[in-house]
């Protein structure tokens, strides 16, 4: 293998590893064109996204004046980038001094020191999304191997952009469906309450039984819509700023929020929250959700007379992460437990253990998935120890910020 092929193989395998992740597409494209400038005999590069209704929008650029050349094409509505997008073929201009189909771009670009430009379409079998532009300050062709490398990088960029677009479309769909479901659900809930209050007339025992079944299932559907909305928000990857916050204060908020559910049950619940502040980087609303979901589950899966304990403390070490300071949230119960063979699936979407099903304990199967997603976003770890019929302990370790 020649050394440039070797380097391309290295770059491609690095990108292959990130394909299934949800890194921000902008960061990935910037990384990709950084490699384009390293691997190819060019001085600068840029990626612009284009659709049938929009002018090119630059998403990444590298090297002298690349951003300026991308912008120039947008402003003039003319240039190799648009031509590559429209024709779905590479547009190769080894010498801008020779007549080109985009004279206005050529004139301005040459004045800015550009001598050659090579544009490669970002396209798949049935969609096209933009173009990768390679810029050079000296005239001359790219050899066939370089052309192949450039189109390969453009194809990788296409996959990222299409993946990101699909992810956003899916998330927006789930999010609007959950919103739309809320209104009828609230209405069903309201009318059922009126029936249950006997506002519309006395209920026979059989009618009451039916109304109670409607109430139960309305609560269930409302919980599902609300959990789906949380999942969609978490997956949307909209910039979610992390700030320095006190986990101790968050745990007290969670305790307050849980009071009504605790009061409903004959289970003793003990909160043991550190006296000193515990600073972590994150989002208070999300971390409160972690505590509420874990304690909520412990309550749900512990029969009357049982015990639940939630502690929030500083710990010196997190398993497998070496030394360092961590904030630990530990929630334990002596409830129904989770069969060992089912534990690996606990954090996957919609998973409900056989115990939950046998005991007919209601839930959406989304709570732990939400918890695990939040913990991952906070660079933390989550673990579980549990034995069937002996109770469970969930442990979350978050890096501290002090
Ligand atoms: P949900 O509680 O809504 O079903 P979760 O995602 O929160 O969904 O939990 C998934 C499954 O994990 C539950 O259905 C249950 O089987 C199991 N589980 C979670 N927490 C506990 C617990 N503290 N004790 C026993 N089982 C649990």
pTM: 0.72
Under a CB-based contact definition with an 8 Å cutoff, are residues 273 and 311 in contact? Answer: yes
CA trace torsion 27, 32, 38, 43 (10° rounding): -80
Residue nearest to atom 21 of ligand 1 (CA): 297
Reported as a single tens digit per residue, the pLDDT across 209-241 is 999 999 999 988 988 988 998 888 887 765 567
Structural domains of the chain, ranges and CATH numbers in brackets: 1-239 (3.30.450.40), 241-402 (3.30.565.10)
Mutation probe of ligand 1 site: the residue of 230, 368, 369, 386 with most atoms within 8 A of C-beta: 368
**Measured from the CB, is residue 74 less than 6 Å from ligand 1?**
no
Ligand 1: distance of its center to the CA of 365 in Å?
Answer: 7
Instruction: For residue 291, name the pLDDT band (cuts at 50, 70, 90).
Output: very high
Alpha carbons 390 and 302: distance in angstroms, whole number: 10
In percent, the amount of the chain with pLDDT more than 70 equals 95
Instruction: For residue 262, name the pLDDT band (cuts at 50, 70, 90).
Output: very high
**Measured from the CB, is residue 373 less than 6 Å from ligand 1?**
no
In this predicted structure, what is the pLDDT of residue 323?
Answer: 60
Alpha carbons 75 and 68: distance in angstroms, whole number: 10
Q: What is the mean pLDDT of the chain?
A: 90
In this predicted structure, what is the pLDDT of residue 20?
Answer: 65
Q: Phi and psi dihedrals of 146, rounded to 5?
A: -65, -40
Under a CB-based contact definition with an 8 Å cutoff, are residues 308 and 332 in contact? Answer: yes
**Measured from the CB, is residue 306 less than 6 Å from ligand 1?**
no
For the cut 90, the answer to whether the pLDDT of residue 362 exceeds it is no
Relative to the CA of 365, which ligand 1 atom is closest? Answer: 8
Alpha carbons 360 and 344: distance in angstroms, whole number: 21
Q: What is the mean pLDDT of residues 234-259?
A: 87
Instruction: For residue 1, name the pLDDT band (cuts at 50, 70, 90).
Output: low
Residue (of 220, 196, 180, 68) closest to 135 by Cα position: 68
In percent, the amount of the chain with pLDDT more than 90 equals 66
**Cα-only R_g, the chain:** 29
In this predicted structure, what is the pLDDT of residue 320?
Answer: 52
Under a CB-based contact definition with an 8 Å cutoff, are residues 288 and 245 in contact? Answer: no
Phi-psi region of 243 (alpha: psi -120 to 50; beta: other; left: phi over 0): beta
Ligand 1: distance of its center to the CA of 62 in Å?
Answer: 48
**Measured from the CB, is residue 365 less than 6 Å from ligand 1?**
yes
Point out which residues pair with 109 in neighbouring strands. Answer: none
Question: Which residue pairs from 145-150 have beta carbons closer than 8 angstroms and sit at least 24 positions apart in sequence?
Answer: 145/2, 145/4, 145/5, 146/4, 146/40, 146/41, 147/90, 147/92, 147/118, 149/4, 149/8, 149/39, 149/40, 150/36, 150/40, 150/90, 150/118, 150/120
In this predicted structure, what is the pLDDT of residue 81?
Answer: 95
For the cut 80, the answer to whether the pLDDT of residue 259 exceeds it is yes
For the cut 60, the answer to whether the pLDDT of residue 204 exceeds it is yes
Point out which residues pair with 131 in neighbouring strands. Answer: 48, 121
Reported as a single tens digit per residue, the pLDDT across 101-152 is 899 999 999 999 999 999 999 999 889 999 999 999 999 999 999 999 999 9
154 CB contacts (<8 Å, ≥6 apart)?
120, 121, 122, 131, 132
In this predicted structure, what is the pLDDT of residue 164?
Answer: 83
**Measured from the CB, is residue 332 less than 6 Å from ligand 1?**
no
Q: What is the mean pLDDT of residues 58-77?
A: 91
Under a CB-based contact definition with an 8 Å cutoff, are residues 390 and 337 in contact? Answer: yes
Relative to the CA of 336, which ligand 1 atom is closest? Answer: 25
Mutation probe of ligand 1 site: the residue of 339, 367, 370, 394 with most atoms within 8 A of C-beta: 367
Reported as a single tens digit per residue, the pLDDT across 143-196 is 999 999 999 999 999 998 998 888 888 888 988 998 898 889 999 999 999 999
């Amino acid at each position: 293998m020649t050394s440039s092929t070797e380097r391309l193989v290295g770059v491609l395998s690095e990108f292959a590893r990130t394909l299934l992740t949800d890194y921000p597409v902008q960061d990935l494209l910037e990384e990709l064109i950084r490699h384009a400038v390293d691997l190819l005999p060019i001085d600068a590069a840029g990626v612009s996204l284009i659709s049938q209704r929009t002018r090119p929008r630059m998403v990444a650029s590298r090297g002298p004046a690349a951003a300026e050349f991308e912008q120039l094409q947008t402003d003039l509505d003319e240039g190799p980038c648009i031509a590559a997008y429209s024709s779905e073929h590479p547009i190769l201009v080894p010498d801008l001094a020779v007549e080109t189909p985009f004279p206005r771009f050529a004139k301005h670009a040459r004045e800015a020191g550009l001598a050659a430009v090579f544009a490669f379409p970002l396209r798949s079998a049935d969609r096209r999304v933009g173009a990768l532009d390679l810029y050079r300050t000296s005239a001359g062709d790219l050899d066939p191997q370089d052309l192949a490398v450039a189109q390969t990088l453009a194809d990788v960029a296409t996959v990222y952009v299409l993946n990101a677009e699909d992810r956003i479309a899916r998330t927006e769909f789930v999010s609007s469906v959950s919103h739309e479901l809320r209104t009828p659900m609230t209405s069903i809930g309201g009318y059922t309450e009126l029936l249950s209050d006997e506002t519309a007339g006395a209920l026979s025992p059989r009618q009451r039984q039916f109304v109670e079944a409607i109430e139960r299932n309305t609560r269930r559907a409302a919980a599902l819509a609300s959990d789906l909305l949380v999942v969609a928000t978490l997956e949307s990857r909209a910039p979610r700023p992390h700030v320095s916050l006190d986990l101790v204060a968050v745990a007290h908020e969670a305790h307050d929020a849980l009071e009504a559910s605790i009061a409903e049950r004959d289970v003793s619940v003990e909160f043991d929250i550190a006296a000193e502040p515990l600073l972590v980087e994150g989002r208070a609303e999300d971390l409160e959700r972690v505590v509420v979901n874990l304690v909520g589950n412990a309550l749900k899966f512990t029969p009357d007379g049982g015990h639940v304990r939630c502690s929030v403390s500083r710990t010196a070490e997190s398993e497998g992460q070496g030394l360092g300071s961590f904030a630990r949230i530990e929630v334990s119960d002596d409830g129904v437990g989770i069969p060992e063979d089912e534990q690996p699936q606990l954090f996957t979407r919609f998973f409900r253990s056989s115990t939950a099903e046998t005991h007919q304990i209601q839930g959406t199967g989304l709570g732990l998935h939400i918890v695990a997603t939040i913990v991952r976003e906070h660079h933390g770890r989550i673990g579980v120890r549990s034995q069937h019929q002996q109770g469970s302990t969930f442990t979350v370790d978050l890096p501290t910020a002090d």
